[in-house]
Structure 1
Amino acid sequence: EMKHGPIALVDAQTPSVFLVPPGTTYEKVMSNMEEVKARGGPIIAIASHDDPRVEAIADDVIHLPAAPEFLQPIVSVIPLQLLAYHIALLRGCDVDKPRNLAKSVTVE
């Protein structure tokens, strides 16, 4: 999917975050990381094991504990949430009161 839009947004000022799970999607994710790196985009990888290929391409790597492939989404979501939280704090966003959030929703 990178070639159908997102690759046009890659530049040196916009980091790309990649989940690099072992298993069936590994080679495709690595190919996408190589495309971003070739265009000068900084890469943050969230990888489930020490992998020299990931270490060579990514600028920063967040290592996850080993887990079966079917549990990887659960293991991966925590660092993604923490990354989003800390980026929001650095940007000065009020993480407890997001804009456009209503206390209640009325359904007709």
Structure 2
Amino acid sequence: MRNYRILTLGGFFGLLALILIATTWASPPEDFPRSLLLLLLGGPLLLPLRGLLHGRTQAHIWGSLLALPYVVIGVAMATTGSHQAYGLLMLVLSLVFFAGCLGYVKTARGETRKP
């Protein structure tokens, strides 16, 4: 269970850092406000943060659902020409976050059912 927790937090913080760095420094948008893009992309990630840090199963369930739009965004960006590396990295980190959340929930639920 500890490995899934490390996988979840690594994917989560990596995705949050990637969004922060790419939006503000690496490839800032020219025709869209940076603050609004940070709010739209990074804001939803902050919702399950406290529960993920405390190891709550419900937060990991919601975190797995929250990772799915970032998978879609990563695929869309990886297939377009201008930001392929950014999209591929977002795809990988969101899949790591998703897999860590699912593994954590599966092992946590399995431990509570044991007699």
Greater RCO, 1 or 2 (C-alpha within 8 Å, sep 6+): 2
Q: TM exceeds 0.5? A: no
Q: TM-score, normalised by structure 1?
A: 0.30
Higher strand share: 1
Higher helix share: 2
* Higher Cα radius of gyration: 1
